[in-house]
């Protein structure tokens, strides 16, 4: 069975798939940012301040003030995650793609092959792909977004077709 990738212009119906790709790209940096934030001095200051508030104002015994450590760590993760999520949503809703290209993978509904055993054919236009393959038998998934000039894309696809087929 054939597997192929169609590189085509952005259509308004691609908004949800493009939004998912952009969101996943932003959220892939959350764990690294969180680990970096845990090593900053402000994290330790927040832990001490939370323990002090628990001890002084709420009257929690000192040995129970250790609960401030996981509370601050979880709070930092939630703040970083939400800020990245809001940034991705802001990017998608404030800037409309002017010239955006979408790479859409078309695979059979019952995809049981190992990924290393599959080779893909790359098409630059959906019309050629529709003439060659029956698109009703394939599951479509947008995998990447490119916002460069068309000449760069065609050179890339020509290179891909020469080297990989």
For the chain, give the longest Cα–Cα distance. 74
As a whole number, mean pLDDT of residues 72-79 equals 97
| pLDDT tens, position by position, 107-139 | 666 666 676 777 777 777 655 555 555 555 555
Residue bearing the bigger pLDDT, 140 or 61:
61
Q: Is the pTM of this model over 0.75?
A: no
pLDDT exceeds 90 at position 39: yes
- What distances in angstroms separate CA 122 from CA 23, 139, 161, 165, one per listed residue? 25, 16, 7, 9
Residue bearing the bigger pLDDT, 74 or 151:
74
Cα separation, 94 vs 117, whole angstroms:
41
pLDDT exceeds 80 at position 83: yes
As a whole number, mean pLDDT of residues 59-85 equals 95
As a whole number, mean pLDDT of residues 40-46 equals 95
Q: Which of 7-11, 109-113, 136-140, 160-164 has the lowest mean pLDDT?
A: 160-164
């Amino acid at each position: 069975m054939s597997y192929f990738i169609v590189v085509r212009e952005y259509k308004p119906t691609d908004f949800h798939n493009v939004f998912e790709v952009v969101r996943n790209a932003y959220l892939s940096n959350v764990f690294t940012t969180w680990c970096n934030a845990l090593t900053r001095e402000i994290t330790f200051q927040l832990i001490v301040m939370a323990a002090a508030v628990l001890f002084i104002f709420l009257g929690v015994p000192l040995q129970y003030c250790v609960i401030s450590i996981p509370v601050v760590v979880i709070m930092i993760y939630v703040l970083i995650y939400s800020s990245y999520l809001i940034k991705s949503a802001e990017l998608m809703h404030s800037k409309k793609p002017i010239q955006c290209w979408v790479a859409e993978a078309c695979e059979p509904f019952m995809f049981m092959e190992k990924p290393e055993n599959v080779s893909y054919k790359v098409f630059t236009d959906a019309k050629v792909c529709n003439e060659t393959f029956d698109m009703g038998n394939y599951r479509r998934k947008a995998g990447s977004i490119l916002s460069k000039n068309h000449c760069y894309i065609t050179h890339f696809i020509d290179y891909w077709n020469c080297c990989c087929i």
